[in-house]
Structure 1
């Protein structure tokens, strides 16, 4: 009598790796964040507006063509009123203001995003280092931060934009290096709060160095604050860029919303009553700044429910 051999039981699947568990937690966090964010109507409205402007800026070459900035090949006459051919009228060179407005969205959004990213990066670095090390080093760093904080940001940006070459990168640098103190103070306060938690003491007891604690424990806990501050900072950066361009400190060879306002002022649109030259770029700047502010407020409310921001 022969006994039938039973097939060996299949081995249990290997346990998930640490990286897969980390990615699963991140996906869960993003899903919870989006679920909570959707409850904020103002945040959704701002996000929809930003998506609309971003799509227009991304597809600007297809919508208006690359020759919209050309002065020699302008399709219309100077300062035409809005019509079927030119829905927003023309500028003093006969160029379509609608085309310039669409093309200018690329520059204004680029400057706002990059300048805000530079500002928040500097502020986060200064805040985390000052909050982690403390002592006389933090005192010196924060006194320097206070000096930048009490100085008018616009005045410092004007000085930098004046002494450096006139280009879009100069504007980004001028805004970024003058608007970081607020972020630095907020991040430093959050860093001090995180450093007082028990697991930081355990990490030190297990041999964790300064770099490990700052990058693995402190930075992930301050990133929600950094994200909210970045969103709010973009609107300020766009307004500052428009101000610098309006004062004639931007690159004259590129089209931005602030540059359009400067061109309108030089063309005498204010005194001549050419409202169609002034209103569109001003409304566009206000719309984008409001949209970023709404998104930033909603992100703050999601990440810190104690704020009690209205939905």
Structure 2
């Protein structure tokens, strides 16, 4: 059965060598569109995201493609300016998450022993910390600044990455070429950087993509609960404002739908990209997309040969 799995993985790699997955192309395109929109937002809307340009709750039109909110501000301007904050939080918190989790996972998985036990017990401690009470305490003590939101998201999100990387590092350290490198006098630092790290890099890429999407969703949830900085515009703040100001009662769907759709698209895109990185790390995961019929056909072909 394992031979059939390997055969399917090889066939899938050969088939996809010359083309890209439509889902991957779509995901990368979505992220590029939002990134470019966030970059050009000051040029398109130099007055910012809260400038009144028309009547409250004006419906979408040629002048304002996404309509206006309750204050008469362009929803399109708010969406692009909000992308600057949401993507910034997602990238910074995601990178911090992967750095913390990656270092802890690599070191604990490679060295093992009491060092691994200490790091994993620390990981377990962070896993059981309740998020909302911690955010309430942080907001009460240090305020709801954006930097506090980024740091607390990273501090509460790295344990999952650490466990995944630790598992892979424990497997890689047992491979023959790693043991040969150590036997030939390679230092621990050189072995980690040149032999172990390249093998876990696809998982780090997957963790980064997933962490960015998770951080954007987390920031939006904190905004909705009033536990983040309300002086800056983000997608989560747009959703919170639409609920507080009666957009649903006014049936102004064009105020609520764009930020929710943007968050959903970014989450979907980062998940697809993260899944692709996971498949590079473990080609057997690609078999699940081929379907049971293809699996049986390949297994029968392998047995016949």
TM normalised by structure 2 equals 0.83
Cα contact 1:112–1:237 (8 A) shared by 2: yes
1:68 equivalenced with 2:48 (yes/no)? yes
Give the equivalent residue in structure 2 for 1:42. 23
Deviations 1:85-117 (A, max 9, x none): 332222232211111111111111111111111
Aligned counterpart in structure 2 of residue 277 of structure 1, from 221, 230, 255: 255
Count the aligned residue pairs: 276
Give the equivalent residue in structure 2 for 1:27. none
Instruction: Report which of the two structures shows the higher radius of gyration computed on alpha carbons.
Output: 1
Distance 1:182 1:155, change over 3 A: farther
Query: After the TM superposition, which of the residue ranges 197-206 and 91-100 deviates more from structure 2?
Result: 197-206
Superposed CA RMSD in Å reads 2.3
1:124 equivalenced with 2:102 (yes/no)? yes
Cα contact 1:38–1:44 (8 A) shared by 2: no
Runs (4+) off by over 6 Å: none
Matches of residues 255-270 of structure 1 in structure 2 within 5 Å? 255-270=233-248
Cα contact 1:68–1:95 (8 A) shared by 2: no
Query: After the TM superposition, which of the residue ranges 129-138 and 257-266 deviates more from structure 2?
Result: 129-138
Query: After the TM superposition, which of the residue ranges 81-90 and 245-254 deviates more from structure 2?
Result: 81-90
Distance 1:153 1:181, change over 3 A: farther
Give the equivalent residue in structure 2 for 1:111. 89
Give the equivalent residue in structure 2 for 1:216. 194
TM normalised by structure 1 equals 0.81
Give the equivalent residue in structure 2 for 1:25. none
- Output the CA distance in 2 between the equivalents of 1:300 and 1:248: 35
Q: Whose RCO is larger (CA < 8 A, sep 6+)?
A: 2
Unaligned runs of 5+ in 1: 1-31
Deviations 1:169-201 (A, max 9, x none): 111111111101111001111111111112222
- Output the CA distance in 2 between the equivalents of 1:189 and 1:52: 35
Give the equivalent residue in structure 1 for 2:34. 53
Matches of residues 293-308 of structure 1 in structure 2 within 5 Å? 293-308=271-286
Query: After the TM superposition, which of the residue ranges 161-170 and 103-112 deviates more from structure 2?
Result: 161-170
Matches of residues 71-86 of structure 1 in structure 2 within 5 Å? 71=51, 74-86=52-64
Unaligned runs of 5+ in 2: 1-12, 291-305
- Output the CA distance in 2 between the equivalents of 1:130 and 1:302: 23
Shift of 1:166: 1.8
1:140 equivalenced with 2:118 (yes/no)? yes
Aligned counterpart in structure 2 of residue 310 of structure 1, from 265, 270, 289: 289
